[in-house]
């Protein structure tokens, strides 16, 4: 596989070993400042829990500000109603344009040359096994 484009936001593909990945909807291990656009590892912002040790009422909740500009932080994921980041869409489209073939494990039936009507897990596992078998001599 040359490149992976996903809507997944929990880094499962990277954890599984994929290195050439675009997460169209972002990743929830990163937070972004809505004011300056700076991104931080979510683990660095885990001070949220420390700021809210005695959290009792919603009005008491303290959100940590951006360490750079004091702005509002949010998970670096595309929420419902938001647009996809244009840069990520452009990168994904470049790879689609360069591809000889696409494997789509979601909607896209109307555009498919071949449709396999089965679960993604079983089908992709069988395909991976077939590729491994074809690569390793018996
Ligand atoms: Zn900021």
- pTM: predicted TM-score of the whole model, two decimal places: 0.73
Q: What are the structure tokens assigned to 75, written together?
A: 């998970």
Task: Tell me, yes or no, if 25 is annotated catalytic.
Answer: yes
* Structural domains of the chain, with CATH: 4-105 (3.30.1600)
CA distances from residue 99 to 1, 47, 95, 103 in whole angstroms, order as listed: 10, 43, 6, 10
Query: What is the number of other CB atoms lying within 10 angstroms of the CB of residue 43?
Result: 9
What is the tens place of the pLDDT at every residue in 103-125?
888 888 898 998 888 998 899 89
> Is pLDDT larger for residue 42 or for residue 89?
89
What is the tens place of the pLDDT at every residue in 1-10?
789 999 999 9
> Ligand 1 mean position to 78 CA, how many Å?
18
> Ligand 1 mean position to 39 CA, how many Å?
8
Point out the catalytic residue in the list 2, 13, 25, 95: 25
Give bridge partners of residue 41 from the DSSP assignment. Answer: 30
Using H for helix, E for strand and C for coil, what is the string for 15-49?
A: HCCCCCEEECCEEEEEEEECCCCCEEEHHHHCHHH
SS3 76: strand
Q: C-alpha 82: how far from its chain's center?
A: 15
> Ligand 1 mean position to 69 CA, how many Å?
4
> Ligand 1 mean position to 35 CA, how many Å?
5
């Amino acid at each position: 596989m040359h490149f992976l484009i996903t809507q997944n936001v929990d880094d499962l593909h990277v954890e599984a070993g994929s290195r050439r990945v675009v997460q169209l909807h972002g990743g929830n291990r990163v937070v972004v400042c809505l004011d300056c656009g700076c991104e931080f590892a979510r683990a660095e912002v885990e001070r949220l829990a420390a700021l809210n040790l005695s959290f009792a009422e919603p009005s008491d909740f303290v959100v940590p500000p951006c360490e750079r500009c004091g702005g509002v932080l949010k998970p670096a994921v595309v929420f419902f109603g938001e647009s996809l980041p244009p840069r990520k869409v452009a990168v994904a489209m470049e790879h689609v344009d360069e591809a000889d073939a696409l494997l789509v494990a979601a909607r896209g039936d109307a555009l498919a040359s071949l449709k396999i009507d089965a679960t993604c897990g079983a089908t992709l596992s069988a395909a991976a096994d077939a590729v491994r078998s074809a690569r390793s001599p018996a």
